[in-house]
Amino acid sequence: MPDKKPNYAELKLELDELLDSLQQDDISVDDALKAYERGMELVKLLEATLNEAENKITKLKAKFD
């Protein structure tokens, strides 16, 4: 069975958790770097999800105008 694509809310929650972890005083440089890298991946996925939604809305609007 294929992996389920995470939705916007799940991606946003993971990003929020990463941001919280980066604000901890005891995070190592290595862990902070990994978290930053994952955070950038999440931002890219969130932007793609928003762009996809915007395109769908534009198409739907054009269909009903």
pLDDT tens for 21-41 read: 999 999 999 999 999 999 999
- Identify whether 11 is part of a domain: no
pLDDT, residue 3, reads 74
| 7 falls within a domain | no
Amino acid at 14: E
Say if 19 falls within a structural domain. no
Q: What global pTM score does this model have?
A: 0.84
Determine the 3-state secondary structure of 23 from DSSP. coil
Range of the domain at 38: 29-65
Q: Is residue 24 part of a domain?
A: no
Q: Read off the pLDDT of residues 33-65 as tens digits, 9 standing for 90 and up.
A: 999 999 999 999 999 999 999 999 999 999 988
The number of domains in the chain is 1
Q: What is the predicted pLDDT for the residue at 64?
A: 87
Q: Rounded to an integer, what distance in angstroms lies between the CA atom of residue 63 and that of residue 28?
A: 52
CA distance 60 to 55: 9
d(CA 10, CA 28): 25
Is residue 17 domain-resident? no
Q: Answer whether residue 57 is part of any domain.
A: yes
